């Protein structure tokens, strides 16, 4: 019963149910996932010899970037810029991003740039990177949380204006589901609330590269995930929207709200004002200039 509660109910706008492969986040069968499922007990993926093979195959080959429709030259420039920014962050603030975060953020920016120029979503959505596109957007930060041991999950998020000021927050306990689906629930619930309140320009921010990639690569007719199909049905009604990857330290408010729901009720809770903990995190977020991206769009 708890597993069933984590599954969205049928919806005519998202089409019939589809068979999904549970060993990949996108629900699509791959040779890699099938082989891993069958042979995982016989070999250790983290063994150094596999890492050596991976390094030789990938560091000498950038063809995968071009296969994604992106540019290696663009990605290389972004990586160098992010490394320089990371060095300054360490020197002046004593903080730093991990190598994984640097690569994922850079790759996400490149993929979103080129997908905006080449992908035609249903509804002919305008490329989100045009400067004149966004007039008065709101920012939706979402996250999911998983309770170790019980496998109970929760989702939460916060909606803010371009100055970083609170509009509303929300969270919900989900019973048993994967962390991937919990993060999808966080986005879906946020989009529903945004639509109900009449906002039609939204920039969605998630700290899960896997979730961002799965949504951007799906359409309402191809997505195996019912949650993603629900999301797309809402996004097609929005005037303008953008989904982007951010690091975990830029998503602390949404993370806090999601974790609070682990000990709450299953009902969706909406907060018109921040609690003490979230208020403190809000100020930290504003000091870190999370919404600098808004300036890039409008100046």
Q: Which residues contact 140 (CB under 8 A, 6 or more apart)?
A: 157, 158, 159, 187, 190, 191, 194, 202, 203, 204, 205
Does 249 reside within a domain? yes
Look at the chain and report how many structural domains it folds into. Answer: 1
Helix-helix angle 72-93:99-118, to 10 degrees:
140
CA distance 88 to 104: 19
Does 114 reside within a domain? no
Binning pLDDT at 50, 70 and 90, where does residue 62 land?
Answer: low
pLDDT at site 278: 87
Place of tokens 């966080």: 186
Find out whether 130 and 201 touch, Cβ atoms under 8 Å.
no
Find out whether 138 and 201 touch, Cβ atoms under 8 Å.
yes
Question: In DSSP terms, which residues pair with 204 in a beta bridge?
Answer: 140, 243
Helix, coil or strand: residue 90 = helix
pLDDT at site 159: 96
**How many other C-beta atoms are found inside a 10 Å radius of the C-beta of residue 122?**
12
Tokens of 134: 């966004």
Q: Phi and psi for 148 in degrees, rounded to 5?
A: -65, 140
Does 14 reside within a domain? no
Does 106 reside within a domain? no
Helix, coil or strand: residue 5 = helix
Binning pLDDT at 50, 70 and 90, where does residue 118 land?
Answer: very low
Rounded to two decimals, the pTM is 0.61
Does 220 reside within a domain? yes
Does 155 reside within a domain? yes
User: What is the average per-residue pLDDT within 106-127?
Assistant: 55
Q: What is the domain range of residue 284? A: 138-298
CATH of residue 201: 3.30.420.10
Q: Compare 40 and 197 and report the one with higher pLDDT.
A: 197
Does 38 reside within a domain? no
User: What is the average per-residue pLDDT within 165-178?
Assistant: 91
Give the strands of the sheet with 269-271, arranged side by side. Answer: 240-245, 201-206, 138-146, 152-160, 166-176, 269-271
Does 58 reside within a domain? no
């Amino acid at each position: 019963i708890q597993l069933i509660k984590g599954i969205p109910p049928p919806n005519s706008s998202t089409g019939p149910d589809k068979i999904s492969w549970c060993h990949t986040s996108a629900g699509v069968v791959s040779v890699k996932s099938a082989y891993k499922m069958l042979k995982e007990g016989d070999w250790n993926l983290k063994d150094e010899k596999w890492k050596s093979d991976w390094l030789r195959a990938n560091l000498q080959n950038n063809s995968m970037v071009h296969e994604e429709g992106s540019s290696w030259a663009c990605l290389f420039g972004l990586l160098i810029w992010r490394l320089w920014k990371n060095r300054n962050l360490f020197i002046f603030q004593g903080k730093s991003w991990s190598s994984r975060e640097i690569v994922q953020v850079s790759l996400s920016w490149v993929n979103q740039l080129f997908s905006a120029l080449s992908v035609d979503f249903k509804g002919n959505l305008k490329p989100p990177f045009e400067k004149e596109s966004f007039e008065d957007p709101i920012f939706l930060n979402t996250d999911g949380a998983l309770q170790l041991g019980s496998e109970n999950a929760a989702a939460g998020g916060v909606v803010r204006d371009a100055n970083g000021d609170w509009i509303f927050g929300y969270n919900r306990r989900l019973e048993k589901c994967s962390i991937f689906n919990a993060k999808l629930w966080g986005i879906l619930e946020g989009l529903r609330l945004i639509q109900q309140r009449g906002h039609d320009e939204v920039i969605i921010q998630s700290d899960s590269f896997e979730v961002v990639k799965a949504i951007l690569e799906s359409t309402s007719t191809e997505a195996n995930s019912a949650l993603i199909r629900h999301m797309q049905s809402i996004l097609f009604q929005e005037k303008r929207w953008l989904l982007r990857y951010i690091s975990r330290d830029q998503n602390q408010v949404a993370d806090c709200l999601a974790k609070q729901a682990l000990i709450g009720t299953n009902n969706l809770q909406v907060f018109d004002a921040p609690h003490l903990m979230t208020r403190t995190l809000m100020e930290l977020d504003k000091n870190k200039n999370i919404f600098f991206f808004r300036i890039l769009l409008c100046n």
